[in-house]
Amino acid sequence: MSSDNQKDQFSVLEPGGSVLLTDTPTFRWSTLNGATGYVVEVYDAQFNLVSSSPQLSNASWTTTLPRGKVYSWQVKAIKAGQEITSPRPPAPQAKFRVIDQAKANELARAKRAYNSSHLTLALLYADAGLLKEAEQELRLLRRTNPNSDLANKLLRQIQTLRR
């Protein structure tokens, strides 16, 4: 491997491999030395372009996407007049899912009804595939119940799933 190839490497950071509660995700990636701009492209499950950013100078971008769908995304760095794309094979696609509106509404109602029950919310989030949110609730549960074997066990399970 040449060191030139390594200089042209950068990576997508988030979202990827997750389920999102929000329909306005923020895309983040590492920067590429010498890049003068970045363009983000978001595709649906049939590889139709759903959204594209203008040329950006920073390493994040937010857009609104239709709910209830699976997406993949990539970012193109512009460097010396060339485009360098991430992720690129053999790296896996950066995929994520935005939950549908009915499930988002259900979770919003549950959050209002069970605001002080971190265990209930963690289980509901985990069931919906929202592992980041489930982990946050389990951390809150563990903080208020530090000796709870159940809280510690569930937190370890969620953290393992997130890896």
Which residue matches tokens 């590492």?
Answer: 30
Which residue ranges in the chain fall short of pLDDT 50? 1-4
Q: Where are the domains of the chain?
A: 3-98, 102-162
Residues 99, 71 contacting (CB under 8 angstroms): no
- DSSP 8-class letter at 56: B
- In the three-class reduction of DSSP (H, G, I as helix; E, B as strand; rest coil), residue 119 is classed as helix
Q: What is the pLDDT of residue 7?
A: 57
φ/ψ of 137, rounded to 5, equals -65, -40
- DSSP 8-class letter at 100: P
pTM score: 0.86
Options 3.40.50.720, 2.60.40.3780, 3.30.420.10, 1.10.1740.10; CATH of 3-98:
2.60.40.3780
- In the three-class reduction of DSSP (H, G, I as helix; E, B as strand; rest coil), residue 25 is classed as coil
Instruction: Calculate the average pLDDT of the chain.
Output: 93
